[in-house]
Structure 1
Amino acid sequence: MPVHAIPQDALSPASPVREQRIRVWCTQLEAGGILYFPETPVLVPYADVEFLLGQQKCSSSLHKNIAYKPGRDKLSGIDEKSAGPDKVQRMHEIMRRYSSSVEAFLVEFLSPYQRRWRLDYASFRPVEEKGRDLSMRHRNDLLHTDAFPTRPTRGWRILRFFHNIHPNRTRDWVVGEPFARVVREFAPVKLALPRADGPVARAGKQFAQATGIASLVPQWKRTPYDAFMMRLHNTMKEDTAFQAGCQREEVQFASGSSWMVYTETVPHAVLGGQFALEQTFLVDPAAMVTRDSTPLEILEKMTGHVLA
């Protein structure tokens, strides 16, 4: 899986070939590449970094991730009673500022998309990744593609922008083979291909949506695409032969660096690292520079059905 390093001087608005380069970078990103910024283009104030690094991984006031939901300006994953209102307020301000800064950068950097995305959650990850005791489906150290159990994307792509704020440690990933190759290994031999809804299923979903039940029951919100991507996520993690024998490449992201990747496309796992920031976007597949590289397009060609 290629990693494309983007030097700081290539981001200058004064560069005469900047617009041409941006389209190339979009193409590389959409095809499953990782765009890597050795020096992050989204600067976090020193005082904010110091505050985040001061949060202890074992603090009873912190969960494994602190999540910020921009659409509702809501923070979760920190216990106000244990942390105190001042600490919660400071964390809220930092996460709001970070989320806004990442989007402001990508509005310019991904200008061909014309902001055709939905701003999803931002997160702060203070916990050491290596050796975490998690259930199989929640483990980050097993190769997987991303799918959200309670937030179906309906074919929109999952773009994630990461930032390693640890002062001296790398954040260690492994990445697997391209989505098209992986999905052909798992489907249909190990995993049923998605199918378009039949009339009974459509009627059931229409009833659920009309009555409001769909907002409460995740499976009613999922398209055939979402249902398949969720099964693929789980099956990849649970297939010990795949985990032991698949091709993989180790990638280390330096302290102070950032990177972004379509995580529903690139099989990835996190083996080690602590203190990272991340912002997720759901990007309209119609905004792609190269639409035929999207998982939705690949699956619809494989099945001959409209899946989302």
Structure 2
Amino acid sequence: MPVHAIAKEAALNAAKDGDAEKLRTWAAQLEAGGVLYFPQTPVPIPIADLGVLLGQKQKHSSLHKNIAYKPNRDELTGVDAKSSPAEAVEQLHAIMRRYSKSVENFLGEFLAPYQRRWVLDYASYRPIEEQGRDLSTRKRNDLLHTDAFPTRPTKGWRILRFFHNIHPTRTRDWVTGDAFPKVVGNFTPGKLALPRPDGALAKAGKGLASATGLGGLVPQWKRTPYDEFMMQLHNAMKEDSEFQGVCTKEYFQFAPGSSWMVYTETVPHAVLAGQYALEQTFLVDPAAMVEPELAPVRVLEKLAGARLA
């Protein structure tokens, strides 16, 4: 995947001046599977906030990979409130709230072509060293995968993630893989069946689950055919050792104090090493895209010959 390095000053000036042509070009590069990289982050974090974040010591746990902030509920999770002073938890809560808002404000201008046609999803803080973590295959971050949320189906909306390496001295090491259409071709039709529209029985079952409030109990009842396929693809990529061994890989080291963003449902990616990273996720309406036909839901619908979300 191409990495497009953008100077902080260029990004801020283009957003401030409303340079529509430049902003559309960057959005198109992002949508096509590029990684937009800011060697110096355009979203600076107050020094006092950095001090608090770098002081967090999460245990290696399979339960919580990170500390999560949920803007729609103004809720912080992943912190052991029982062993942490209430004041410290509230301080961390406020820091994550500020970070989430600052990223949204920046992207509201930098991705002006989208006109904020997105849903602000979770922000997270990842204080754990990524290299050598003991996790089950499907939860491992160091295996190439495209993103899908098991319990939060996107219904075709794109998963945009903005990352920030706040480690004072170490890079955050990533690897990316082939473009989305090629990855899909590697797994279909031999390993995965192409998605198909829900049949009458499946639609009736989902309708009943929604009407009775039982839809949240079984993740599959909440998923569209698109979401179900993307979940299967995520798992199949991680579990296929042959694919992991022979697929194309490009390696990147994101510098301390840098930021980058990428559509992670499109770009196969893995994190090999690094500690102390912040991230904000957006779910973006594919109809808001500069190049809407590049959205995975459109790619899959073209292959399937039917609407999937």
| TM range, smaller chain | over 0.9
- What SS does the corresponding residue of 1:158 show, helix, strand or coil? strand
Matched with 2:213 is 212
Q: CA deviation at 1:232?
A: 0.1
1:8 equivalent to 2:14? Answer: no
Tell me how far 1:292 sits from its aligned partner. 0.9
Q: Deviations over 1:99-139 (max 9, x none)?
A: 00000000000000000000000000000000000000000
Q: How does 1:157-236 map to 2 (within 5 A)?
A: 157-236=158-237
The Cα shift of 1:18 comes to 2.7
Structure 2 counterpart SS, 1:64: coil
Q: CA shift at 1:265, angstroms? A: 0.2
Match of 2:278 in 1: 277
Superposition map of 1:1-308 within 5 A: 1-13=1-13, 18-58=19-59, 63-308=64-309
* CA RMSD of superposed structures (Å): 1.4
Q: CA deviation at 1:16?
A: 6.6
Residue 186 of structure 1 aligns with an amino acid whose one-letter code is: F
Counterpart AA for 2:303: M
Matched residue SS, 2:202: helix
Give the conservation status (yes or no) of the 8 Å contact 2:165–2:259: yes
Q: Specify whether residues 21 and 213 from structure 1 end up closer, same or farther in structure 2 by C-alpha distance, changes over 3 A only.
A: same
Task: Give the Cα–Cα distance (whole angstroms) in 1 for the partners of residues 161 and 177 of structure 2.
Answer: 17
Residues 156 and 138 of structure 1: is their aligned pair in 2 closer, same or farther, counting only changes over 3 Å? Answer: same
> Gapped runs of 5+ residues in structure 2?
none
Instruction: Give a deviation string over 1:3-51, Cα, whole Å, max 9, x none.
Output: 0000122124378783211100000000000000000000110010011
SS in 2 for 1:137: helix
Could you tell me how far 1:89 is from its partner in structure 2? 0.5
Query: Which deviates further from its counterpart, 272-281 or 16-25?
Result: 16-25
The answer to whether the 8 Å contact 2:165/2:278 transfers is: yes
Could you list the per-position Cα deviations for residues 140-167 of structure 1 after superposition, in whole angstroms to 9, with x for gaps in the alignment?
0000000000000000000000000000
State the number of aligned residues.
307
- Counterpart contact for 1:10–1:18, Cα < 8 Å: no
Identity %: 67
Contact kept? 2:35, 2:262, Cα under 8 Å: yes
Structure 2 residue identity aligned to 1:80? A
Q: Tell me how far 1:192 sits from its aligned partner.
A: 1.0
- The answer as to whether partners of 1:179 and 1:265 remain within 8 angstroms in 2 is yes
TM-score between the two structures when normalised by the length of structure 1: 0.97
Q: Is the 8 A contact 2:64 2:78 kept in 1?
A: yes
In the alignment, the residues of structure 2 paired with residue 155 and residue 300 of structure 1 have an alpha-carbon distance, to the nearest angstrom, of: 10
For 1:8 and 1:122, how far apart are their aligned partners in 2? 22
For 2:213 and 2:141, locate their aligned partners in 1 and report how far apart those are by CA, in whole Å. 33
